[in-house]
Structure 1
């Protein structure tokens, strides 16, 4: 067998050494030419090595059978070359070493077309997946998240009405542009007509927005209520004292009498007078920073307003079919209309079944982010 020495090809080193190829051939023969079994046997025998792809075994045997060597043909560096079966293992080795690498980079390194790289990875069952954005956790957050979730599940087991009585609340900013994900925006048109070069206006110099408060308790959606754009502890306290109870008029009386108020730990919520009002209005029945039920910071994945309400509402408000948002009044009406649509479709599954499921996932994941699992 001819010796194989590491060499550069389009900026990449050869995948396996001479000794590794020898073992690949031996294991392939030991397993009677079954590539899948050969790969499993190779991993068992050499646990500290990088495992070859399944196709490497058959490709190496075929190359040895036809040419009498496992050494690949030499090519002029930097020149495009035809795709050969033995290139497959080198393509796959790039994705094995760096799963985030792009097909374009691999194609340039190996001097082959990007289409050939795509064909190879898809033929071997590899598909691109998007990263899931998750919130940042600080030191100590996972422990506090687990403690809170355990408390919620224990109380839910003791009292079947506990989750039905929690009023989950949050604030969010809306403006005329919203958040645009251009990767998911398409305009379908006949190819014969050419590219229509559609545009989407954004980044207006004359900017306007609204700060929206929403709540959800059992199967009741509360709000929207429009707060000052610059929320501080004083205007938040005024909202609690003067506006909150009128927003709760449609909530059943038996729920209001034992309602548990929840908000997060932002500075406007932590003012002493705000906490005093909550102690008086919801004695031992409020969740928040400094409250009788401590709220763990940075937990949007556990609050229904965050993981359910805002996403659905913004999808309705910024629906492309409804046209541009030309004024603050149009934006306000879109938010009100979106809330009405959501109110008609809301069930208690969001505040009961989904909360239980997320608390269990948080505990299983030891307090780390879990929405990507």
Structure 2
């Protein structure tokens, strides 16, 4: 249907004003005033008034269709760059085109911007050790179906005031017209932290236990001799599952002679450590459930809110561990460990796809 005349548009605005901005009422007034005319849709009254207010023009103008002009030479130049890390902004600047144009060409070519995954750096000698460690775990798991669930995975981690601040996953939902202008502090003059120990065996999460800020041979040995037995007392470990296999990474406090002698006497040849009866694969957080699940999940929960003081931090840690303890499943220390060991072997000891 053709657009309205200028006179009709003027009468539409007049009726809209008489109705005080009520489009339904404006439609009724217009129909009573001009019974021989076609009656506009009630939205036409508001649209006409808005158009007059914004553009000063009553006549409706069809939008100009801006068809994309395909330039084969430009498209080829966009995708010709062999450096996969080049940004679309740089390509657009170099070719004197818009960033939108560069994005549309890249998208049409089916390319997607993937993010880097931070991984632990490895030394050349680590690859063979990682493969050897994974083969041992898989073989022991075949020979003894309870082996993986009998490993006592242990580790310490530091929780600070600043913690982790993942802006990508942190959202605040609000009406799109109401910007709350949220901020969150990530740098502080007053700093504090706690050193937290925990372990996992089977589907059981033990801890958190708060260690001295600086872990050394003496306080680590005191912890192993006095605190660890009490922490393990309430965990239902069945004798028929075989002896506990104690895992320790290679940090200096774990490698002191007195500590190794104590663990040798306590766990005999059934413990994992650097250059130990079962050789631990160095720099391998991807091969321990504490690193690939427990620490990440607990810190995600702890730092959902800003930390006010040390007591608040400890309170958040305790609450986070309650949640993680409920979420723990046996498959993390069995099925997931088998999958990761196989993936590590296929990668010949290099970093592998985590998910």
Secondary structure of the residue aligned to 2:152 is strand
| Alignment RMSD | 1.7
What is the match of residue 64 of structure 2? none
How far is 1:286 from its partner? Answer: 0.7
Contact (CA 8 Å) 2:164, 2:300: kept in 1 or not? no
Query: 2:288 is matched with which residue?
Result: 303
Gap change, CA 1:88 and 1:269, over 3 Å in 2: same
**Correspondence 1:251 to 2:238:** no
In the alignment, the residues of structure 1 paired with residue 237 and residue 168 of structure 2 have an alpha-carbon distance, to the nearest angstrom, of: 47
Per-residue CA distance 1:161-213 (angstroms, 9 max, x = gap): 111110001110101111113344444444434x5432111211110111000
Q: Which secondary structure does the structure 2 equivalent of 1:180 belong to?
A: coil
Contact 2:146 2:242 in 1 (8 A): no
C-alpha contact (below 8 Å) 1:301/1:371 kept by paired residues: no
Residue 340 of structure 2, aligned match among 339, 352, 358: 358
Partner SS state of residue 158, structure 2: strand
**Unmatched runs of 5 consecutive residues or more in structure 1:** 1-81
- Does 1:204 pair with 2:191? no
Q: 1:372, 1:161 → 2: CA distance?
A: 24
Give the whole-Å Cα distance in 2 for the aligned partners of 1:254 and 1:354. 22
1:83–1:209 distance in 2 versus 1, CA, 3 Å: farther
2:217 corresponds to 1:217: no
The runs of at least 4 aligned residues of structure 1 exceeding 6 Å deviation read: none
Q: Name the CA distance, whole Å, in 2 between partners of 1:347 and 1:174.
A: 24
The counterpart of 1:335, out of the listed 295, 302, 317, is 317
348, 352, 358: which one aligns with 2:330: 348
TM-score by length of 1: 0.74
CA contact (8 A) 2:155 2:197 kept: yes
Query: How do 1:241-280 and structure 2 match up within 5 A?
Result: 241-254=225-238, 258-280=243-265
- The alignment covers a number of residue pairs equal to 286
For 2:119 and 2:318, the matched residues in 1 are separated by 28
Match of 2:118 among 126, 129, 133: 133
User: Larger C-alpha radius of gyration, 1 or 2?
Assistant: 2
Report Cα offsets for 1:220-261 as digits up to 9, x if no partner. Answer: 101000001111111111100110010011222425971110
Give me the whole-angstrom Cα distance separating, in 1, the residues matched to 2:218 and 2:352. 35
Given that 2:150 and 2:242 are in contact with CA atoms closer than 8 Å, whether structure 1 keeps it comes out as: no
What stretches of structure 2 of length at least 5 have no aligned partner? 1-67
- Superposition pairs for residues 221-236 of structure 1, below 5 Å? 221-236=205-220
1:46-65 mapped onto 2 (5 Å cutoff): none
Q: Distance in 2 between matches of 1:204 and 1:250?
A: 39
